[in-house]
Amino acid sequence: MPANDLVSAPIQGQPRTGPYLPPATQPVRTVVWVIHLALPMLGLWLLLANHDDLNIEWHDNFGHFLLIIAVAGINVVLGAMIGQASARRADARLLLVSLVFLSSAGFFLLHGLATPQIILPKGSYGFDLSQPIGLLIASVFAAVSALPLNERAARAVLRSQIWLRGGLVLVLVGWGLASLVPGFTALSDPSPPLGAGLGGFEPVGVVLYAAATAMMFRLHRSRPAAMLISLVTAYALLAEAMIAGMYRHNWHLSWWLWHLLLTLAFVFVAYSAHLQFRREGSSAGLFDSVALSATVRKIRAEYEEALEELVGHLRSRAESRVPVATRLAGKFGLTEGQAAVLDRAGAALAGERELSERLAALVDTGNQTRVGLPERELLTLALDRVRQAYGDVRITLVADGRVAMGAREYGPRDFPGNQPVRLESTIVHPLTVKGRLAGALEVPVGRTAQDAALAATLASQLSISLENARLYQELSTLFRQYMSPDVANSLLADPRTAALGGELVELTALFADLKGFTSFSERAAPGEIVEMLNRYHTAAVPIILSNGGTIVQFVGDALLALFNAPARQADHAAAAARAALAMQEAAEEIAAGTAGYPRFRIGINTGLALVGNIGSPELRGFNAMGDCVNVAARLEGVAEPGTVVIGQSTFDQIIPPPTVRPLGDLALKGKEEPVRAYVLSGLP
């Protein structure tokens, strides 16, 4: 895997495969690049502006031939390498770039072969026109290569590659025969001393190269890479070579200048490829940074897939990593050093993944500690989640003062100062509740450097969760024996609800007592009285709770229940009525089996009341105060044994209307206005 792809990162939301250039160095590189391009043009201007003094003639046929052969050879090698990369990546841009180098190199070579006194005795039209024609053809390939080709266009280019390469070869062979075989065509005839030109087509090539340079530079800005900037420089120098070639003073310094520009264009790319090859030790990804964006994304996806495969292999803890490393090295053309780097990167990433998963498991374990969650359920949920991240984790609770963990047993003395026990591949931490041993946690260690610390944190988290679960269970059991479940749940969830104070709430109050309790108490033994009360309340309490009521007090044989406080109910009046009728049915069954037992009488009323904690900072209770509660108590007082009396406000809120017997307007104690009441006998 090329090193530049290993360190690549998106820039401005696009993928990048070249080595990252820090922001501070980019302006410096840009200045150097501009100087490289400006100096040749400055030299051309000096040569042409002072023709007689500086633009001297230097005639060296054999030196010219050797220069062309060397530069063309380098260019052919570059074109072939880029062509191989285009075939390996199936990338249209790399194919077109390879044709830029091959076409310019081919015609440059033909220009060298046409050097006077090498094959032909004198200069010829072929000698003058070979390189301008080659540069013009290459400019077309360069301009198309810089375009952001879409998928359809790229496929069309790849389908035409045989025709493009074959056509280029035929053109080169035909041009060589025409320009090197004496008398074959006019191209082998001697040309004028000032040389032949393209008849004004040179500016077309300059424009195409300029466009290709601008587009390639824009691509370099989005994903900086040394190979891309070298290609930008090469395209710009080829444009300058066309400009310099327009001044056809053969064998003068201005004529040699375009040879130098061509040489620099190819050498820039060759040198960048050489440096990258030395850095990476492989030619597999030398030109990946030049490829189309779709190809770059595909390459990155392949690398990510390979890295994920290696990470998965490392995390599975297979005995040998050689098969995977060998296969990946062969697939991506990695050197031994690159495979080792990839192996270390995979191991580091696998460790980071495991660390992240274990930290997430710790967070989830803490989130599972909730009010009312049973201890066994809590530990089961925590164990299932923890095993996903930590592997074979085991939790065991104390039994008979010992913790049996597989074939081993642990007691308080095995964990002095609550320190863990370190085994060969696991570590055993004590789980404590209120400072005492409550269980043990066994966690595998050795996979990451943080295993021991994570295991200690996990044990601490589970100890807190276990202690909280038991504390909640104790509080819940204690509270529910002395108050309504709604009040208990509210206090457990938010202790601030125990503060003194209250709020005005519309509620339905239910008062119930046993008519005849006083006379029964006079003739019954204390134990029999308690038994009788417990039987009635044991039947009444579940009925009230199942209908959403809250019992706020027991006073001897009487009880007060509230509906719509503290828990809200939309149909609290109907719920209170259902509960009252069910209580009377249950009371009749109790009284029917025992002679002399008293009967319930119940009063219900709906209205506003002040609901909250009433008392002092030292002792308080949840209660309701208000006229509606007082009326409910008065209605209970006028009810006959075995009946339920409801006020007008309750009757109005039960829809459809209940079955009742009107009692008319009652004058109740403490009320100036009469209260209309009804005897409730049934609900729709």
Q: Where are the alpha helices (DSSP H) in 246-335?
A: 253-280, 293-315, 322-332
Contact between 43 and 241 under an 8 Å Cβ cutoff? The reply is no
pLDDT category at 556 given cuts 50, 70, 90 is confident
Give the separation between CA 626 and CA 208, rounded to whole angstroms. 93
In terms of average pLDDT, the best of 14-18, 281-285, 449-453 is: 449-453
| pLDDT value at residue 277 | 62
Instruction: Give the three-state DSSP class for 613.
Output: strand
Instruction: Give the three-state DSSP class for 650.
Output: helix
Contact between 139 and 129 under an 8 Å Cβ cutoff? The reply is no
Q: Which of 354, 356, 352, 379 is nearest to 368 (CA)?
A: 379
Segment among 148-162, 196-210, 572-586 with least mean pLDDT: 196-210
Instruction: Give the three-state DSSP class for 559.
Output: strand
**Structure-model confidence comparison of residues 338 and 188, the more confident one:** 188
pLDDT category at 180 given cuts 50, 70, 90 is confident
What CATH architecture applies to the domain 373-467?
2-Layer Sandwich (3.30)
Write the pLDDT tens digit of every residue in 32-81: 556 556 555 555 554 456 555 665 666 777 877 788 788 878 878 888 88
Write the pLDDT tens digit of every residue in 448-498: 677 788 778 888 878 777 877 777 776 666 555 545 566 566 655 655 555
Residue 447: how many CB atoms within 10 A of its CB? 18
- The helix-helix angle for 61-89 and 293-315 (nearest 10°) equals 60
Write the pLDDT tens digit of every residue in 504-515: 899 999 999 998
| pLDDT value at residue 650 | 96
The structure's pTM equals 0.47
**Structure-model confidence comparison of residues 218 and 296, the more confident one:** 218
pLDDT category at 560 given cuts 50, 70, 90 is very high
| pLDDT value at residue 24 | 42
| pLDDT value at residue 321 | 46
DSSP state of 433: E
Contact between 98 and 79 under an 8 Å Cβ cutoff? The reply is yes
Q: Residue 131: enclosing H or E segment and its boundaries?
A: helix 125-145
| pLDDT value at residue 471 | 74
Residue 194, pLDDT > 50, answer: yes
Q: Given 3.40.50.2300, 3.40.1410.10, 3.30.70.1230, 3.30.1050.10, which CATH number is that of 496-682?
A: 3.30.70.1230
Residue 143, pLDDT > 80, answer: yes
Give the separation between CA 418 and CA 435, rounded to whole angstroms. 9
Give the separation between CA 402 and CA 83, rounded to whole angstroms. 74
| pLDDT value at residue 18 | 40
Beta 599-615 vs 644-647: how paired, if at all?
parallel
Mean pLDDT of the chain: 76
Instruction: Give the three-state DSSP class for 40.
Output: helix
Over residues 564-577, the mean pLDDT reads 90
Write the pLDDT tens digit of every residue in 634-646: 999 999 999 999 9
Classify the C-alpha dihedral 306-310-316-322 as positive or negative.
Answer: positive
